[in-house]
């Protein structure tokens, strides 16, 4: 079994608490309160700023040019594509980018992003990629599953554009590439002795992702 699948299967309860969270279900059927989505979206924009930093740190941690280019591509994808979706949606509700950036980070946001950055600072590229995996790969899984639901992509669903973004071929390819990268790094650097640590990193990052959804519901 690949490293990523082992990490996911060994932490499946935590993974499902994230990918099947009440917030996620509300996105699919359109019942999520708009104010909850707005709160999430603003915080996720701030979150992405820190994740772009994490990928920049990954460039420093890289051991070859291939890894450096992958981290650069991921950072550019966040800064030039993914954050654009957030701005478009926020502007449709009268929120400017300046107002979003001036918003304080919620404790759940701080806890998650700083955990990832701290893990990256202390560890190597594999530690960093495992800490990033729940976000990069999980959103792809969530988007693909939601897109299968009746009415999820219907224009009447206020969250259809969000679902389209993360169920798109482009994002699914990104998620698959991330799985492969973790598996490839695992073949180089993972050992039986190290697996327990990697599993803890994965489980904690996944738990913090679930907390991020919960934050959106706490209005």
* 209 tagged catalytic: yes
Q: Identify the CATH assignment for 3-217 out of 3.40.190.10, 3.20.20.70, 3.40.50.1820, 1.20.910.10.
A: 1.20.910.10
pLDDT for the residue 92: 87
Could you please report the per-residue DSSP string of 100-120? HHTSPPPHHHHHHHHHHHHHH
Single out the residue of 180, 172, 176 nearest to residue 146, CA to CA. 172
pLDDT per residue rounded down to tens, the chain (219 residues): 899 999 999 999 999 999 999 999 999 999 999 999 999 999 999 999 999 999 999 999 999 999 999 999 999 999 998 999 899 988 988 889 999 999 999 999 999 999 999 999 999 999 999 999 999 999 999 999 999 999 999 999 999 999 999 999 999 999 999 999 999 999 999 999 999 999 999 999 999 999 999 999 998
As a three-state string, the secondary structure of 161-194 is HHHHHHHCHHHHHHHHHHHHHHHHHHHHHCCHHH
Each domain of the chain, given as residue ranges in start order, spans: 3-217
Residues 6+ apart with CB under 8 A from 139: 166, 171, 175
The active-site residue, picked from 71, 82, 106, 135, is 135
The active-site residue, picked from 106, 181, 204, 209, is 209
* 71 tagged catalytic: no
Cα atoms in the Cβ-side hemisphere of radius 13 Å centred on 164: 10
- What's the whole-model pTM score? 0.95
């Amino acid at each position: 079994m690949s490293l990523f699948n082992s990490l996911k299967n060994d932490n499946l309860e935590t993974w499902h608490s994230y990918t099947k969270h009440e917030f996620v279900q509300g996105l699919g059927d359109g019942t999520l309160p708009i104010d909850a989505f707005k709160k999430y979206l603003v915080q996720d924009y701030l979150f992405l700023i820190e994740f772009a930093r994490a990928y920049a740190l990954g460039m420093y941690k890289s051991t070859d040019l291939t890894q450096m280019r992958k981290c650069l591509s991921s950072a550019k994808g966040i800064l030039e594509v993914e954050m654009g979706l957030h701005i478009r949606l926020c502007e449709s509700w009268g929120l400017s980018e300046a107002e979003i950036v001036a918003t304080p980070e919620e404790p759940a946001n701080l806890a998650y992003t700083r955990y990832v950055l701290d893990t990256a600072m202390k560890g190597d590229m594999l530690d960093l990629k495992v800490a990033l995996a729940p976000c990069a790969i999980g959103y792809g899984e969530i988007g693909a599953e939601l897109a299968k639901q009746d009415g999820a992509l219907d224009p009447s669903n206020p969250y259809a554009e969000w679902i389209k973004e993360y169920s798109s071929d482009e994002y699914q390819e990104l998620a698959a590439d991330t799985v492969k990268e973790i598996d490839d790094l695992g073949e180089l650097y993972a050992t039986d002795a190290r697996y327990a640590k990697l599993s803890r990193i994965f489980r904690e990052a996944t738990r913090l992702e679930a907390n991020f959804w919960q934050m959106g519901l706490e209005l």
